[in-house]
């Protein structure tokens, strides 16, 4: 395993972190017989950064992680969890933190995050007088939290503003081959001394699926897997401290550790080659949809950008399995947006009037539906 300094925290962390969102499940709970040996094997192989959260795995992830850590040398393992509420208060933050601590069976947490915040939320909800930020800071002054962090899904410029508050010591954000939108913000955070932890290095599983198009990017005698290429890509960014992988099998743990333990990840030329290839793929994808969301909201709640994004995964990136799985979420009403699949379109064409690229959205929705359901 290779290790890096986690910003200015003084922590030396494994480049591969164990994400606690995708443990194997059984009867609505984390399957202890599978998950605990996986976590312990990862630690045995050198992983020392574990990330969890109250809402993961049917709200059972923290408890499972706590059970896996029982009896281990806690001083050599760094533990991260998170706080969130629709209308956060100082009292609620304290209560939820103490619940997390109890579930984790710990005396302290190394990294405590405000979960998925934006600059607007920080200004209006978290930092008001007597609000959650004061309780957040108090946890650290009491030694219950070692380092203050935030996780992030908003605009890159928001990340920079949150970094500039000087409050946070690490940031958790998305970055991968398919989504490099946070690349400059990651560099900015690292330059300011924050540790940068990544979520979604394999695109939420999308880059775990086989892709002939992506597998050809590196001109090597032996074709690398898409998942390995994705991990090597993020590991090779010097501004990244830790990349979290939500591993769900023992084999994934051992394969990802092997990738993280390589003597080198990608050369400068290989990174340039990947960047050129991905930029070209992105240009081709933009011919279908840029994801600007000007077409939204749809009166029928069709999740238009998501449908087109999934179609691009299939047509441009060759991620056919991931594209079909993603569309099945829409078909079955399991997508987080609660939006609908292309079948809900009534051809009102309101979206087409708003599209700056003048995409024939109604026709493309029908074509995307056929593609993503195998109706060639």
Let me know if residue 89 belongs to a domain.
Answer: yes
Let me know if residue 351 belongs to a domain.
Answer: yes
Handedness of CA 327, 332, 335, 341 (dihedral sign): positive
Same structural domain, 239 and 341: no
Q: Is the peptide bond before 269 cis (omega within 30 degrees of 0)?
A: no
- What whole-number distance in Å separates Cα of residue 171 and Cα of residue 114? 10
Same structural domain, 230 and 311: no
- What whole-number distance in Å separates Cα of residue 266 and Cα of residue 176? 14
- What whole-number distance in Å separates Cα of residue 272 and Cα of residue 276? 6
Let me know if residue 63 belongs to a domain.
Answer: yes
Choose the final residue of a domain: 267, 296, 324: 267
- What whole-number distance in Å separates Cα of residue 149 and Cα of residue 223? 38
Distances (CA, A) of 105 to 102, 207, 285: 5, 34, 47
CATH for 16? 3.20.20.100
Question: For position 227, what pLDDT does the model report?
Answer: 78
Same structural domain, 173 and 222: yes
Let me know if residue 56 belongs to a domain.
Answer: yes
Distances (CA, A) of 243 to 144, 210, 274, 307: 25, 20, 19, 28
Same structural domain, 253 and 301: no
Let me know if residue 359 belongs to a domain.
Answer: yes
DSSP state of 296: P
Same structural domain, 193 and 294: no
Choose the final residue of a domain: 206, 239, 267: 267
Same structural domain, 8 and 117: yes
Let me know if residue 46 belongs to a domain.
Answer: yes
Burial state string for 332-366 with b = 16 or more CB within 10 A and e = fewer than 16: eeebeeebbbbeebeeeeebbeebeeebebbebbe
Same structural domain, 170 and 94: yes
C-alpha dihedral, 95 to 96 to 98 to 99, nearest 10°: 120
Same structural domain, 205 and 323: no
Question: For position 221, what pLDDT does the model report?
Answer: 44
Question: 376 burial class (0-12, 13-18, 19+ CB within 10 angstroms)?
Answer: exposed
Let me know if residue 86 belongs to a domain.
Answer: yes
Question: For position 205, what pLDDT does the model report?
Answer: 54
Distances (CA, A) of 177 to 32, 180, 199, 274: 32, 6, 12, 8
pTM for the structure as a whole: 0.79
Instruction: Give Rg (Cα) of the chain.
Output: 21
Please provide the DSSP assignment of 158-200 as one string. Answer: HHHHHHTTS--SEEEEE--SS--TTHHHHHHHHHTT-EEEEE-
**Secondary structure of residue 12 in the 3-state scheme:** strand
pLDDT tens-place values along the chain, 376 residues long:
999 999 999 999 999 999 999 899 999 999 999 999 999 999 999 999 999 998 899 899 999 999 999 999 999 999 999 998 888 999 999 999 999 999 999 999 999 999 989 999 999 999 999 999 999 999 999 999 999 999 988 889 999 999 999 999 999 998 987 778 899 999 999 999 999 999 988 765 556 555 666 666 655 545 567 778 889 889 999 999 999 998 999 999 999 999 999 988 887 777 777 777 777 777 767 667 877 788 999 999 999 999 998 888 888 777 888 889 889 989 998 877 788 999 999 999 999 999 887 889 999 999 999 999 987 5
Same structural domain, 151 and 216: yes
Same structural domain, 212 and 303: no
Question: For position 288, what pLDDT does the model report?
Answer: 73
Question: For position 224, what pLDDT does the model report?
Answer: 62
- What whole-number distance in Å separates Cα of residue 60 and Cα of residue 27? 12
Tally of domains in the chain = 2
Query: Is 306:206 a contact under the CB 8 Å cutoff?
Result: no
Q: Which residues are registered as beta bridge partners of 79?
A: 50
Cα 60–Cα 64–Cα 68 angle in degrees, nearest 5? 170
Question: For position 113, what pLDDT does the model report?
Answer: 97
Same structural domain, 114 and 239: yes
Same structural domain, 124 and 235: yes
Let me know if residue 273 belongs to a domain.
Answer: no
Question: Taking the CA of residue 375 as centre, how many other CA atoms within 13 Å lie in the half-sphere pointing to its CB?
Answer: 6
For 313, the token pair is: 């995964």
Choose the final residue of a domain: 213, 238, 267: 267
Domain of residue 88 covers 3-267
- What whole-number distance in Å separates Cα of residue 60 and Cα of residue 63? 6
For 234, the token pair is: 């993020």
């Amino acid at each position: 395993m290779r290790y890096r300094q986690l910003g200015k925290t003084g922590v030396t962390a494994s480049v591969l972190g164990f994400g606690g969102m995708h443990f194997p499940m059984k009867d609505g709970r984390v399957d202890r017989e599978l998950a605990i040996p996986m976590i312990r094997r990862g630690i045995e192989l050198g992983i020392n950064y574990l990330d969890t959260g109250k809402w993961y795995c049917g709200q059972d992830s923290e408890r499972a992680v706590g059970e896996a850590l029982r009896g281990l040398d806690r001083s050599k393992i760094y533990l991260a969890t998170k706080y969130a509420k629709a209308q956060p208060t100082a009292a609620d933050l304290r209560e939820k933190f103490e619940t997390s601590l109890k579930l984790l069976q710990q005396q302290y947490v190394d990294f405590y995050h405000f979960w998925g915040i934006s600059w607007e939320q920080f200004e209006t909800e978290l930092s008001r007088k007597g609000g959650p930020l004061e309780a957040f800071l108090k946890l650290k002054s009491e030694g219950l939290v070692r380092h203050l962090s935030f996780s992030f899904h908003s605009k890159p410029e928001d990340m920079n503003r949150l970094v500039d508050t000087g409050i946070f010591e690490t940031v958790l954000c998305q970055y991968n081959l398919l989504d490099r939108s946070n690349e400059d913000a990651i560099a900015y955070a690292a330059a300011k001394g924050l540790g940068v932890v990544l979520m979604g290095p394999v695109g939420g599983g999308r880059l775990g699926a086989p892709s002939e198009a992506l597998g050809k990017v590196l001109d090597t005698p032996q074709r690398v897997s898409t998942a390995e290429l994705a991990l090597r890509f993020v590991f090779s960014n010097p501004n990244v401290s830790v990349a979290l992988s939500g591993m769900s099998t023992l084999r994934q743990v051992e394969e990802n550790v092997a990738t993280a333990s390589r003597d080198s990840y990608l050369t400068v030329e290989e990174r340039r080659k990947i960047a050129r290839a991905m930029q070209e793929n992105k240009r081709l994808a933009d011919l279908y949809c840029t994801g600007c969301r000007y077409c939204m909201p749809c009166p029928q709640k069709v999740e238009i950008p998501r449908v087109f994004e999934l179609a691009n995964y299939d047509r441009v990136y060759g991620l056919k399995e991931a594209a079909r799985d993603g569309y099945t979420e829409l078909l079955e009403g399991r997508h987080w947006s609660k939006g609908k699949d292309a079948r809900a379109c009534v051809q009102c064409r309101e979206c087409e009037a708003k599209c700056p690229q003048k995409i024939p959205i109604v026709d493309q929705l029908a074509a995307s539906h056929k593609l993503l359901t195998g109706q060639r």
